[in-house]
Amino acid sequence: MKKILVPFFTILVFSCFSSSNCLVAQETLKKEQLLEDFQIFESSLRQNHPQLFLYTSEQKLDSFFINAKKLIKNEMSPIEFYKILTPILPMVGNNHTNILPPKSFVEFISTETKRLPFSFFYKNDTLYVLEDVSKEYLIGEGSIVTAINGLEVSSIIHKFLENITTDGYNKTQPVYRASRGFSRYFGYYFGFPETFEVRYIDSGGKSRIAVIEAITLKEISKNRKSRNTTLTNGREDYRFEVVDDIGIITVRTFSLSNPKLFKRFLRETFQEIDTKDISTLLIDLRDNMGGYPEASNQLLEYLINETITPYKLEYAITDNIFNHEYFEDDIYFKHFKRQNLVEREGKYFVKGAVDTKLMPNKYAYNMELFILMNASSSSTTGQLIGLIKAYTEAIFIGEESGGNPVGIVANDILTLMLPNSKIEVKLPVIYSELNVDFQNSGRGIIPDIPITQTIDDLLKGKDTTLEHALKWISTN
């Protein structure tokens, strides 16, 4: 029976992040309410998450829960409480486990709140300006930011990384997230002031200081459009081309709006490769953050030369979600309740998961194969890259892939709604382990040929990473 929650005491207040900027009206929650949310949060993770202690020992997580609980004060806003919870994310080390602020807070900062008007690129401990969409337009693209409001960039990034979800010990993905979500994370952990004092090094190497006015996302979008910055360029979901006798298949997502069209694209593409006798193939999986395994498996069938069983095992640790009354009754929750689970030695295995077999397609490719990847090659794409490594002779180019190539907790991602703070916890409940011949190191696939983007590459608006990859392939 669902518990009826009666607030002990709430006061409508303004969460002010500076003396001149009050952000949004929020309820201040009493300690009893926050402790109730914390207990639901902790017990839900312990009883439902199948790999909670994969990268951090139970003893260390016990210490986290004890110490985090001590930080709860007599009165706190939901976003203050949120910041107590998020340090657990890199400890769990699962990219699909996440904690989100209340929707009302996210909506407000997306529509009304003013923020830092820049996009950044962080590389080798250096924060470059990728887009200057400020009113002043003083700093400019390519400049190096060294401090914001007296905070050194290194300490800012370190704070982000302490609170960002990632897979295991991955080195590329959390940094990518930190730089691309910089202004939002800065607001979460350092506030939303009216102005920013930015210390930077300009294109001439001279140290400067600029005071930049915070502006809304609407104003940022307007400035971006008027200045026609490189980040406005879109990309196709998938395509095929031939450059200097090298076939290039680009797939940017496996979350396809029309799976039949993708299936036809693969068939026609590999028929063309066979007809034209193309002996070198590059598959570009950069910025592909995953999607449906069925779609990635369709591509894999054109790359293998033997029948394979992709999954070694797949299981949950419960067949009845603990604290189920606090989870949203969405399609994922309903799907989990329909899962055909078989109990064995305290685990609940998904029946038939290990029986899945993939057979080589009639036009399967068996010549020289290269995979281009980066920090955003994650989730389903990370799995695909792991299977390609295990079952082909492919050479990997680019950056460490963002996903885990051995095991992933990503199926049936349920939404836990903490009843008082309205904080959302994304909690996957099924663990899948791939049938590969290497162990889980907590890292993505490390490239055989490292090629990384530079700020100059990005500012040119050209895909110089692909150019470098093609040059290496042709030369070698």
Is the model's pLDDT at 23 over the cut of 70? no
Share of the chain above pLDDT 90, in %: 84
Least confident span in 105-119, 136-150, 276-290, 361-375: 105-119
State the average pLDDT over residues 271-292.
Answer: 96
434/381 Cα distance (integer angstroms): 13
CA dihedral 92, 97, 101, 103 (to 10 degrees): -170
In our burial notation (b when 16+ CB lie closer than 10 A, e otherwise), range 286-323 reads bbbbbbebebbbbbbbbbbeeebebbeebbbbbeebbe
CA distance 27 to 405: 42
pLDDT, average across residues 426-441: 96
Report the chain's mean pLDDT, rounded to a whole number.
91
Domains in the chain: boundaries: 11-95, 111-229, 238-475
HSE at residue 202, side-chain half, CA atoms within 13 A, is: 10
Amino acid identity, position 93: G
Which helix (H) or strand (E) segment is 39 a member of?
Answer: helix 31-48
Mean pLDDT of 85-99: 96
92, pLDDT greater than 60: yes
Which CATH number fits the domain 238-475, given the four candidates 3.40.1360.10, 3.40.50.1860, 2.60.120.560, 3.90.226.10?
A: 3.90.226.10
Pairing of strands 144-148, 151-152: antiparallel
We find that the CATH architecture of domain 111-229 is Roll (2.30)
The token duo for 346 is 């305290």
The pLDDT of 118-144, averaged and rounded, is 94
- Which phi and psi (to 5°) does residue 179 adopt? -75, -40
Count CB-CB contacts under 10 A for residue 268. Answer: 12
Q: pLDDT tens digit string along 456-469?
A: 888 888 888 899 99
pLDDT per residue as tens digits for the range 212-265: 999 999 999 999 988 765 554 556 899 999 999 999 999 999 999 899 999 999
The tokens describing 90, both together, are 């890199």
DSSP string across 131-156: EE-SSS--S-TT-EEEEETTEEHHHH
Neighbours of 4 (CB within 10 A): 5
Helices (H) and strands (E) in the chain, counts: 15, 21
Answer with the residue of higher pLDDT: 11 or 140: 140
pLDDT confidence of 415, banded at 50, 70, 90? very high
The one-letter amino acid at 147:
A
Per-residue model confidence as pLDDT tens digits over 193-216: 999 999 999 989 999 999 999 999
The reported pTM is: 0.89
How many other β-carbons are positioned within 10 Å of the β-carbon of residue 404?
32
- pLDDT at position 26 is 60
Q: Mean pLDDT, to the nearest integer, of 119-138? A: 94
Angle between helices 58-70 and 31-48 (to 10 degrees): 170
The three-point CA angle 152-154-155 to 5° equals 70
- 309-363 pLDDT, tens digit per residue, is 999 999 999 999 999 999 999 999 999 999 999 999 999 999 998 899 999 999 9
Average of pLDDT values for 82-97?
96
CB-CB contact of 268 with 275 (8 Å): no
Count of other CB atoms within 10 angstroms of residue 267: 15
